[in-house]
Amino acid sequence: MSLLKCENVSMGYEGKVVVEGLDFQVNSGDYLCIVGENGSGKSTLMKGLLGLRVPMSGKIETGDGLKHTEIGYLPQQTVVQKDFPASVREIVMSGFLNNMGIRPFYNKEEKKKAQEIMSKLSIDNLAKRCYRDLSGGQQQRVLLARALCATKKMLLLDEPVAGLDPVVTSEMYDLIESLNKEGITIIMISHDIHAALKYATKILYVSDKPVFYDSKEAYLESEKGKLFAYGEGGAK
């Protein structure tokens, strides 16, 4: 059984289909990259995977004992967060809330775990700093740390490097790769096909109809893949 399974799913809003014919499954340890141009329905699909939006047809299932409260999510930044007075620790800790039930406060174990995760992402020295005063890369790390508090199994990342400079971008990608090597399943949305080809093991390309889904190797052999990989001379 796979962690996440889509059967003939189509997603859209206000009665308009944005993306259809999605048939894929994500297994434990996969690194899936969902690629496509702006407006191709990547974010809508992500919302479907997260259960924030009901698919127009087909079904999305979680399996292998994965509960919905065990998915970590790194959303795109919102306007509200730009001037939100919150310390790094407050934000990171809020990742635990989904598994706390009605218990109102964090326990010692969670505080310790948050500390570990912050050290791992080297943001422990920022714990007391205000989120809005951090650089873009640091902010993404904070949100990633929060996502890690929410999950041990699966991370969904929505454009995790949007707006970051090249150095920070590659640091972020390395970090995500190392998390994947530790056994966390990654589903990442990106319009950066080169990075997708470098890091991912599976590619879901939603701009074309029908949608392409296969391993990275198979993608490189496809017409579109050749165009991207060799035609534009980007990825190796």
Partner 1 sequence: MNILMESDVMATLARYFELDFVKRAFVVGILIAFCASLLGVTLVLKRFSYIGDGLSHVAFAAMCVAMISSLSNNMLLILPVTIVAAILMLKTGQNAKINGDAAIAMISVGSLAVGYLLINKFPPSTNVATDVCTTLFGSTSILTLSDSDVLICVIMSVVVVIFYIFYYNKVFAVTFDENFARATGIKASVYNTSLAVIIAIIIVLAMNLVGSLLVSALVIFPALSAMRVFKNFKSVVICSALLSVICATTGMLISILNDTPVGSTIVIVDMCAFLLFSIAGFVTGRGRA
**Which residues contact partner 1 by CB under 8 A?**
50-52, 67-69, 71-73, 75, 78-81, 83-87, 90-91, 93-95, 97-98, 100, 104-106, 128-130, 132-133, 143, 146-147, 150, 156
Min dist CB 104 to partner 1, Å, is 5
CB-nearer residue toward partner 1: 38 or 78: 78
CB-nearer residue toward partner 1: 35 or 71: 71
Min dist CB 120 to partner 1, Å, is 20
CB-nearer residue toward partner 1: 42 or 146: 146
CB-nearer residue toward partner 1: 105 or 167: 105
Cα distances (angstroms) measured from residue 170 to each of 29, 139, 157: 21, 15, 15
Min dist CB 146 to partner 1, Å, is 7
Min dist CB 66 to partner 1, Å, is 12
Helix (H) / strand (E) containing 112: helix 108-120
Dist. CA 66–CA 69, nearest whole Å:
8
Cα distances (angstroms) measured from residue 118 to each of 84, 88, 154, 218, 226: 20, 9, 18, 37, 40
DSSP one-letter string for 77-91? P-HHHHT---BHHHH
Residue whose structure tokens are 């174990």: 109
Min dist CB 149 to partner 1, Å, is 9
CB-nearer residue toward partner 1: 39 or 231: 39
Dist. CA 142–CA 84, nearest whole Å:
14
